[in-house]
């Protein structure tokens, strides 16, 4: 079965999410993603923190705010695909595309708990540097999560609905009362919308850092 071979550490009976799941606005999909498990080859991550990005022209913090460009084209494609972008000259971040073709909305994967393939994730996170990384920090932060799952620009546009190398499984969603929300991290506009969602008291949620303009 498709969900087998993912490491055997996943909840029994956890099935892949269908494309319909993602065919909704990002702010609606985002809280529903908490507790789900995204899996790429040997590594699986239980999502504990996500951030939604809304409609073109309506959400100034979204990459799609000013319309379609070569970089954000995947966001305007069909739902249930990965949008991976390169930022700060050194990091990748991964989103799940929401809403149908022609509308650019999505959810940034901000943090999670590695529930399978921790050795592979650790090797990726420590490659080429004499650095030590704790289990909690393996996928704590959007760029770290992308490294742990092995996402780079090659994965931009990849379908996450079966069959395929990447899947999002049902997992074990938190109780509604455990879902928190607040302003998004690191964005210079759109701070009115509380579209960052996380699981209360989960140690793998990233520390909140408000946006600070760079000095020259």
Token pair listed for 136? 């909690």
163 binds DNA (CB under 7 A): no
Other C-beta atoms closer than 10 Å to the C-beta of 209 total: 9
Among 27-35, 40-48, 134-142, 169-177, which window interacts with DNA (CB under 7 A)?
134-142
Other C-beta atoms closer than 10 Å to the C-beta of 2 total: 12
Whether 154 and 146 have beta carbons less than 8 Å apart is answered as: no
Using CB under 7 A as the binding rule, the residues of this chain from 179 to 208 that contact DNA are 184-189, 206
Torsion angle defined by CA atoms of residues 135, 137, 140 and 143, in that order, rounded to the nearest 10 degrees? -110
Which one among 6, 61, 158, 160 touches DNA, defined by CB under 7 A?
Answer: 61
Rg for the chain, CA atoms, rounded: 16
Among 7-15, 39-47, 59-67, 192-200, which window interacts with DNA (CB under 7 A)?
59-67
Which one among 137, 159, 170, 174 touches DNA, defined by CB under 7 A?
Answer: 137
Between 10 and 22, name the residue whose CB sits nearer to DNA. 22
The separation between CA 87 and the C-alpha centre of its own chain, rounded to angstroms, equals 15
Angle of helix 118-126 relative to helix 142-149, nearest 10 degrees, comes to 120
Query: Nearest approach, Cβ of 99 to DNA (angstroms)?
Result: 13
Token pair listed for 83? 């949008």
Fill in the per-residue mask, 65 to 84: x = in contact with DNA (CB under 7 A), - = not in contact.
Answer: -x--xxxx--x-------x-
Using CB under 7 A as the binding rule, the residues of this chain from 114 to 133 that contact DNA are 125, 129, 131, 133
Fill in the per-residue mask, 10 to 49: x = in contact with DNA (CB under 7 A), - = not in contact.
Answer: ----------------------------------------
């Amino acid at each position: 079965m498709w969900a087998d071979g993912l490491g055997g550490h996943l909840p029994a009976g956890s099935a892949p999410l269908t494309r319909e799941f993602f065919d909704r606005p990002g702010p609606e999909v985002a809280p529903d993603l908490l507790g789900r498990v995204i899996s790429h080859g040997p590594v699986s991550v239980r999502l504990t923190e996500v951030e939604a990005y809304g409609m073109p022209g309506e959400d100034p913090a979204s990459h799609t705010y000013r319309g379609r460009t070569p970089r954000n084209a995947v966001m305007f494609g069909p739902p249930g695909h990965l949008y991976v972008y390169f930022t700060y000259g050194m990091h990748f971040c991964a989103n799940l595309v929401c809403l149908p073709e022609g509308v650019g909305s999505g959810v940034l994967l901000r943090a999670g708990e590695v529930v399978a393939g921790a050795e592979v994730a650790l090797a990726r996170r420590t490659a080429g540097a004499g650095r030590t990384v704790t289990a909690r920090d393996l996928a704590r932060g959007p760029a770290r999560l992308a490294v742990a799952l092995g996402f780079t620009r090659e994965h931009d546009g990849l379908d996450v609905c079966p069959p395929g190398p990447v899947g999002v499984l049902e997992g074990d969603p938190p109780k509604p009362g455990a879902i928190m929300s607040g302003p998004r991290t690191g964005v210079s506009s759109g701070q009115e919308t509380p579209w960052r969602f996380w699981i209360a008291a989960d140690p793998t949620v990233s520390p909140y850092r408000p946006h600070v303009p760079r000095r020259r």
